[in-house]
């Protein structure tokens, strides 16, 4: 559906033309004085300079040409503003069209386009910690937003499954269990199907090995060699790698499932490996990669740079590929497999330079087509109340699982204390509220900003929180449950000012999604639903809905709050959570 601003701008432009002025002056904006009007046009002020006459004169002439049926207020005010309020019938017709259109008439701006959203980015064999939370939450929301807007959106987890951590684990395992067949170069039989470790052992092996690397140069050397041999395809090491992958991916899936985060593609750095040799050769052949202190690098500095951008390291002096190499090779693979219109990456903002280098190398080399957009959203840190990165009470790194568990316990206590649902529904209701608290607490902040994780505030049922949004939805659900069917009921003209405010809020759905998409800012969806939920609650408090005696009117109220609820639910589904039945 066409957006309201576009509709009334087109009509305003026609009115300027009909009054003898140029159409370009007819731009309408949302009013910055909501106390006076809903929309405004300031074009007469600039037109006055061109036509050398008083702005108010132009404004008045234009107002004469507007269709009165569209507005309940249309006036020219000094010095030359045109103030507008939409008419009841305009709003009624617009909302009825939204109600009956697929996905509430949102324009599918991504139809026919493909986007790869690279998020999550966990490293296998390392437990997920809160550093991974934002990428999962923001990435999932951005992916779902793109899907809703019509894109073919592919969420790719881009596992860290190829680096030194693998060599470290292999080396440590060899020290502990040297007799395993994986380490015998002459072994030709089948390796055991069961891994020689459990996931919790694995999570202990890695930090132990990582600590050893720092103290023991010989161990570090062996780990480097093991990494290299793994990457060269040494059979026993590949088998260990596969064990690690299987256990680790199963464990991650479980935790991401709890967050309602799902990936279409489970590829990792290792999958980029086959693309590396040809890519490196090509970059060397074309002189794009040059030798520097024994390594091969791609210079990416540009004359206009304000700060120094160092060259991207392609191959280290020992011949190994690094993080940037796999990212560039992954682009080769993605261009080949999907030819996406966009690749969107979500990581901590400390990786900004890395992506700047990789993007430039991709452009310079033509690995990524000129019409494929590249964007990195670098997000801020989740801090504790002390303003430092969030830690456990004991001061350690907070595991993602534990954070989810703590939020869940906190919410469960409330659900039980307030006797919100019957005992057998406690877990499901708790899980939904906890997820909303966690995700909305994160998503309502601008991605690039740091924010403070505050369980009390995030889980509060009032204020700008996830549970407040759920509460509003649940409130409407319970009214509708008492009323009965509502999907067939038509929107009516607003019965009072609160109804009109609610209707105006509903019309901003499409524009809100479009802005969130354009600026990769799910926080704009949060701001929108906070406003919409506020309008729903205001209407509810000021209007007797079920008590209304006029059945016809009552049906109109139900249609209106029903539509508001459906839109709220569409929004939270994009944000990645859902509402319980009772709260």
Residue 568: phi and psi, rounded to 5, are: -60, -40
Local structure of residue 21 (DSSP, 8 states): S
**Cβ neighbours, 10 Å, residue 298:** 22
Q: How far is the CB of 577 from ligand ARG (least distance, A)?
A: 24
* Cα–Cα dist 516/526, whole Å: 10
Q: How many residues sit close enough to ligand ARG to count as binding (CB under 6 A)?
A: 8
Q: How far is the CB of 242 from ligand ARG (least distance, A)?
A: 19
**Cβ neighbours, 10 Å, residue 460:** 16
Nearer to ligand ARG, 158 or 432 (CB): 158
From candidates 121, 127, 139, 441, binder to ligand ARG by CB under 6 A: 121
Residue of minimal Cβ distance to ligand ARG:
121
Site for ligand ARG contains 158 (CB under 6 A): yes
The site map against ligand ARG for 456-485 (x = CB under 6 A) is: ------------------------------
Q: How far is the CB of 328 from ligand ARG (least distance, A)?
A: 10
Q: How far is the CB of 331 from ligand ARG (least distance, A)?
A: 9
Residue indicated by tokens 């480097």: 224
Nearer to ligand ARG, 41 or 136 (CB): 136
Instruction: Identify whether the C-beta of residue 400 lies closer than 8 Å to the C-beta of residue 133.
Output: yes
* Cα–Cα dist 361/521, whole Å: 26
**3-state secondary structure (DSSP) of residue 453:** coil
* Cα–Cα dist 133/118, whole Å: 14
Q: How far is the CB of 352 from ligand ARG (least distance, A)?
A: 12
90-119: which residues touch ligand ARG (CB under 6 A)? 118
**3-state secondary structure (DSSP) of residue 298:** strand
Q: How far is the CB of 12 from ligand ARG (least distance, A)?
A: 46
Nearer to ligand ARG, 350 or 487 (CB): 350
Classify the C-alpha dihedral 506-507-512-513 as positive or negative: positive
Alpha helices in 235-297 (DSSP H): 235-258, 269-272, 276-285
Nearer to ligand ARG, 329 or 438 (CB): 329
Site for ligand ARG contains 327 (CB under 6 A): yes
Nearer to ligand ARG, 442 or 501 (CB): 442
**3-state secondary structure (DSSP) of residue 521:** coil
Q: How far is the CB of 169 from ligand ARG (least distance, A)?
A: 16
* Cα–Cα dist 560/94, whole Å: 12
From candidates 123, 165, 408, 543, binder to ligand ARG by CB under 6 A: 123
Q: How far is the CB of 268 from ligand ARG (least distance, A)?
A: 9
Site for ligand ARG contains 576 (CB under 6 A): no
The site map against ligand ARG for 514-553 (x = CB under 6 A) is: ----------------------------------------
Q: How far is the CB of 221 from ligand ARG (least distance, A)?
A: 24
**3-state secondary structure (DSSP) of residue 71:** strand
Nearer to ligand ARG, 377 or 583 (CB): 377
From candidates 347, 430, 465, 523, binder to ligand ARG by CB under 6 A: 347
Site for ligand ARG contains 160 (CB under 6 A): yes
Q: Long-range pairs for 231-239 at CB < 8 Å and ≥24 separation?
A: 231/162, 231/273, 231/320, 231/321, 236/181, 236/182, 236/183, 236/184, 236/185, 236/187, 236/191, 237/170, 237/182, 239/182, 239/191
Residue 136, CB-side half-sphere exposure with 13 Å CA sphere: 23
Q: How far is the CB of 76 from ligand ARG (least distance, A)?
A: 55
Concatenated DSSP letters of 365-387: HTSS-TTSEEEEEEE-PEE-TTS
Local structure of residue 490 (DSSP, 8 states): P
From candidates 90, 275, 345, 530, binder to ligand ARG by CB under 6 A: 345
Nearer to ligand ARG, 354 or 402 (CB): 354
Query: Which positions touch ligand ARG (CB under 6 A)?
Result: 118, 121, 123, 158, 160, 327, 345, 347
């Amino acid at each position: 559906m066409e957006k309201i601003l576009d509709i009334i701008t087109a009509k305003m432009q026609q009115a300027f033309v009909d009054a003898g002025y140029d159409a370009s002056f007819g731009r309408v904006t949302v009013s910055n004085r909501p106390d006076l009007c809903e929309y405004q046009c300031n074009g007469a002020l600039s037109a006055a300079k061109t036509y050398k006459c008083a702005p108010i004169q132009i404004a008045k002439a234009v107002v004469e040409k507007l269709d009165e049926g569209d507005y309940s207020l249309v006036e020219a005010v000094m010095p030359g503003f045109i103030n507008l309020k939409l008419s009841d019938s305009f709003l009624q017709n617009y909302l009825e069209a939204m109600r009956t259109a697929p996905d509430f008439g949102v324009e599918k701006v991504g139809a026919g386009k493909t986007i790869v959203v690279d998020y999550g980015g966990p490293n296998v064999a390392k437990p997920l910690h809160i550093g991974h939370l934002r990428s999962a939450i923001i990435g999932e929301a951005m992916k779902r937003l793109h899907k809703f807007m019509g894109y073919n959106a592919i969420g790719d987890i881009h596992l860290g499954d190829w680096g030194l951590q693998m060599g470290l684990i292999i080396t440590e395992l060899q020290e502990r269990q040297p007799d395993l067949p994986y380490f015998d170069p002459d072994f030709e039989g089948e390796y055991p199907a069961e891994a020689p470790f459990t996931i919790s052992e694995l999570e202990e092996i890695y930090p132990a090995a990582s600590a050893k690397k720092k103290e023991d140069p010989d161990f570090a050397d062996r780990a480097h060699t093991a990494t290299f041999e793994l990457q060269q395809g040494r059979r026993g090491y590949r088998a260990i790698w596969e064990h690690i992958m299987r256990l680790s991916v199963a464990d991650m899936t479980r935790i991401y499932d709890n967050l309602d985060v799902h990936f279409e593609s489970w590829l990792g750095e290792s999958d980029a490996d086959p693309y590396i040799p040809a890519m490196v050769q090509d970059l060397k052949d074309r002189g794009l990669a040059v030798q520097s202190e024994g390594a091969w690098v791609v210079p990416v500095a540009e004359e206009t740079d304000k700060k120094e951008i160092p060259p991207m390291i392609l191959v280290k002096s020992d011949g190994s590929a690094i993080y940037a190499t796999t990212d560039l090779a992954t682009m080769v693979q993605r261009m080949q497999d999907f030819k996406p219109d966009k690749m969107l990456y979500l990581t901590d903002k400390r990786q900004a330079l890395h992506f700047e280098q990789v993007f430039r190398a991709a452009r310079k080399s033509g690995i990524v087509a000129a019409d494929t957009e590249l964007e990195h959203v670098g997000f801020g840190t989740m801090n504790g109340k002390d303003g430092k990165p969030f830690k456990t009470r004991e001061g350690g790194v907070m595991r993602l699982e534990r954070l989810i568990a703590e939020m869940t316990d906190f919410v469960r206590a409330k659900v039980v204390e307030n006797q919100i649902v019957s005992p057998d529904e406690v877990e499901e209701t708790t899980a939904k509220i906890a997820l909303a608290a966690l995700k909305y607490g994160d998503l309502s902040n601008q991605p690039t900003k740091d924010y403070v994780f505050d369980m009390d505030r995030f889980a509060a049922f009032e204020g700008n929180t996830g549970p407040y949004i759920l509460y509003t939805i649940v409130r409407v659900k319970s009214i509708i449950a008492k009323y009965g069917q509502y999907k067939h009921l038509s929107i009516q003209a607003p019965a009072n000012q609160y109804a009109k405010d609610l209707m105006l809020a509903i019309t901003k759905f499409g524009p809100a999604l479009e802005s969130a998409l354009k600026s990769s800012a799910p926080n704009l969806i949060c701001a929108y639903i906070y406003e919409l939920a506020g309008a729903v609650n205001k209407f509810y408090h000021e209007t007797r809905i079920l008590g209304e005696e006029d059945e016809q009117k009552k049906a109109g109220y139900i249609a209106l709050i029903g539509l508001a609820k459906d839109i709220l639910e569409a929004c939270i589904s994009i944000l990645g959570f859902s509402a319980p039945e009772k709260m």
